[in-house]
Amino acid sequence: MSKPHVVVVGAGVAGAATAFALARRGAAVTVLDADVPGTATAAGAGIVQPWSSAVADGAYYELYAHGAAYYPRLLELLAAAGVRSVDFRRTGSLVVSADPAVLDAVEERLAIRHAAGAPTGEVERLPSEKARELFPPLASDLDAVFVPGGGRVDGRTLRDGLLAGARAHGASVRAGQASLVRAGERVRVQVDADELAADAVVVAAGAWTDDLLEPLGHPLGVVPQRGQITHLRLDGVDTRAWPTVLPLSGHYLVAFDDSRVVVGATRETGSGFDVRLTAAGQREVLDHALRVAPGLADATVLETRVGLRPLPADGVPRLGAVPGMREVFVNAGFGAGGLTMAPVSGDALACAVLGQPAELDLAPFAPWEGPEQLRP
């Protein structure tokens, strides 16, 4: 029996993860990479610590938590394919606040989730001086809850590693702008002037997902949300072991190797596909970072990256077959959580495409008929 041929449209982390999972299960896979500016994967900070979140609950939290727990298995699978270049590390996470009641609630939430099996590690309450031993630039009025199980990942190395793993299993990656065209009960994939035959198509195009699905009459309510994120360098400072910092807002601080600290990010809903770096965005990011960590004031500004998050209308990712189109699947809509959720989602979606059982239930995230039909 010949291998099923699956075309994956999109080469960000969602598309790369799906391609890797499909290829290692024996499918013939072609990944289409439009290489457009503003992809979320290339800009994302890569915090992998869902357990302290107050806004993630229900099926969404379960997906978020599955994504974090999946990383050791993912790294094993990539290593088996000869890929060891993904920059992932468990450096822990500091949830910081000047309000003891806020940290009390964080501790309680983490205790409940740890008891349910979340790999948080032994959570510890830290006074400000102890927190600054772990992340020296922190403000002196911020106490913390330390979550040792928290990690961080460089999105670019993750995407590149997943694509390398897919290639090791026989997948191919092709540059070009794709479009989908309905042909009776089937869908044709056109890339520039060519047409690709496929048994199934996975749309994993991030913020551009609805642009691809609109001609088929099935937009799913995924829109771009601009995020601006700034990279700083503390010359001569070893930041490799510093934990991520979460001030319980849309902003964060993430330390990487080479004396680099990433601070961000804006959440600019309604931005459209505008990938400009703006004065207001830059000011917001730096103002917040210096309030939380005034010790960064003398850091060198290296660059600011702009990414367009794929924001779903109701906050629910879209995973599964597009309604009325059995051979078209979607893997998109993770908002700011793509680097945590997309790898495990890609693995589960690959099982759905190939008709195989999966460990993760995608039913709560099934694509639905249009943004006007918001689910509770």
Is the pTM value of this prediction over 0.85? yes
Angle at 186 between CA 183 and CA 190, to 5 degrees: 65
Q: Residue 287: what residue type?
A: D
Q: What is the pLDDT of residue 324?
A: 81
The DSSP symbol for 138 reads: S
Q: What is the pLDDT of residue 313?
A: 85
- pLDDT at 301 > cutoff 50: yes
Long-range contacts of 194-200 (CB under 8 A, 24+ apart): 196/7, 196/30, 197/5, 198/5, 198/6, 198/7, 198/30, 198/327, 199/4, 199/5, 199/6, 199/327, 200/4, 200/5, 200/6, 200/7, 200/327, 200/328, 200/329, 200/353
Q: What is the pLDDT of residue 371?
A: 42
- pLDDT at 59 > cutoff 70: yes
pLDDT confidence tier of residue 184, bands split at 50, 70 and 90? confident
- pLDDT at 280 > cutoff 70: yes
* H or E element, residue 348: helix 338-354
In tens, the pLDDT along 115-149 reads 999 999 999 999 999 999 999 999 999 999 999 99
CA distance 371 to 166: 33
Q: What is the pLDDT of residue 372?
A: 42
Percentage of the chain surpassing pLDDT 70? 97
Lowest mean pLDDT among 316-330, 342-356, 360-374: 360-374
Q: Are 207 and 227 in contact (CB under 8 A)?
A: no
Q: Where are the domains of the chain?
A: 90-150+223-311
- pLDDT at 253 > cutoff 90: yes
Task: Read off the pLDDT of each residue in 90-108 and give the average, rounded to a whole number.
Answer: 97
Instruction: Provide the H-helix boundaries in 135-225.
Output: 155-168, 209-213
- pLDDT at 209 > cutoff 90: yes
pLDDT confidence tier of residue 375, bands split at 50, 70 and 90? very low
- pLDDT at 370 > cutoff 50: no
Lowest mean pLDDT among 77-91, 172-186, 229-243: 172-186
Lowest mean pLDDT among 55-59, 89-93, 200-204, 261-265: 55-59
Q: Which CATH superfamily is domain 90-150+223-311 in?
A: D-Amino Acid Oxidase, subunit A, domain 2 (3.30.9.10)
Q: Are 264 and 245 in contact (CB under 8 A)?
A: no
- pLDDT at 273 > cutoff 70: yes
